[in-house]
Amino acid sequence: MIRLQNIEKVYRTSTIETLALNSINLEVAKGEFLSIMGPSGCGKSTLLNIIGLLDAPTRGDISIGEQKTGHLGDRELAAFRNKKLGFIFQSYHLINDLQVVDNVELPLLYRSMSAKERKQLATEALEKVGLSNRINHFPTQLSGGQRQRVAIARAIVGRPEIILADEPTGNLDSAMGNEIMEILMDLNRNEGTTIVMVTHDENMAHKTHRLVRLFDGSQVS
């Protein structure tokens, strides 16, 4: 499903060159739930951004499904992200000025779809995460766990094949974290969604199918 070959990422300034990722080779099978762990600054988020096509590697190739992504332009990358990928972030990244349902609808705005259809899909996604009674609330009126569930609804509303989660339980207490993890595991189990999750939490990581560890930009297991 996802294939990374010899991925290298170097950040350059005028005075310093930082090797963020060094020769990463990784394959994620369809329907797999993979977690990435490592200490702060080891390149976990950089790797997730590269898989999510939000950042380009300095060297190496990425394939998602049958699609090689290296030559894609801005428009194709945007469309690819929109249709194939769903994102969940540690700090939720909800738009506080929009109601929950409008936040969830966001990915669908970039598809040709009627407002009615968008609303229906957003409502269904919110039902899946148990927030159908909060559709007209604003994010500021919700708890952290509820906000993350809204973010999950937003990630799944477009029915992507892959979900990329960057420390989705990082801002939550363990009970809320477990709740979120359950939702992700359900998605993986029932919908067959491939999930790549960056986490600091060993317990959460051990609930996934496979764990990849990074250290100083290199894959160590």
Q: Does 220 bind other proteins (CB under 8 A)?
A: no
Count of residues of this chain found to bind other proteins when the rule CB under 8 A is applied: 29
In the stretch 77-96, what mask flags binding to other proteins with x, by CB under 8 A? Answer: -xx-xxx---x-x-x-x-x-
30 and 192 Cβ atoms separated by less than 8 Å: yes
Q: Does 10 bind other proteins (CB under 8 A)?
A: no
Considering beta carbons, is residue 10 or 185 the nearer one to other proteins? 10
Name which position in 52, 60, 145, 217 contacts other proteins (CB under 8 A).
Answer: 52
Alpha helices in the chain (DSSP H): 44-51, 74-84, 100-109, 115-128, 144-156, 174-186, 202-206
CA–CA gap between residue 133 and residue 137 (Å, rounded):
9
In the stretch 95-114, what mask flags binding to other proteins with x, by CB under 8 A? Answer: x-xx---x--xxx-xxx---
The footprint of other proteins on residues 123-182 (CB under 8 A) is: 154
20 and 217 Cβ atoms separated by less than 8 Å: yes
Considering beta carbons, is residue 29 or 95 the nearer one to other proteins? 95
- What are the residues whose beta carbons fall under 8 Å from the beta carbon of 53, sequence distance 6 or more? 62, 64, 69, 72, 77, 80, 81, 85
Q: Closest approach of Cβ 49 to other proteins, in Å?
A: 4
Q: Does 74 bind other proteins (CB under 8 A)?
A: yes
Residues that bind other proteins (CB under 8 A): 45-46, 49, 52, 54-55, 74-75, 78-79, 81-83, 87, 89, 91, 93, 95, 97-98, 102, 105-107, 109-111, 115, 154
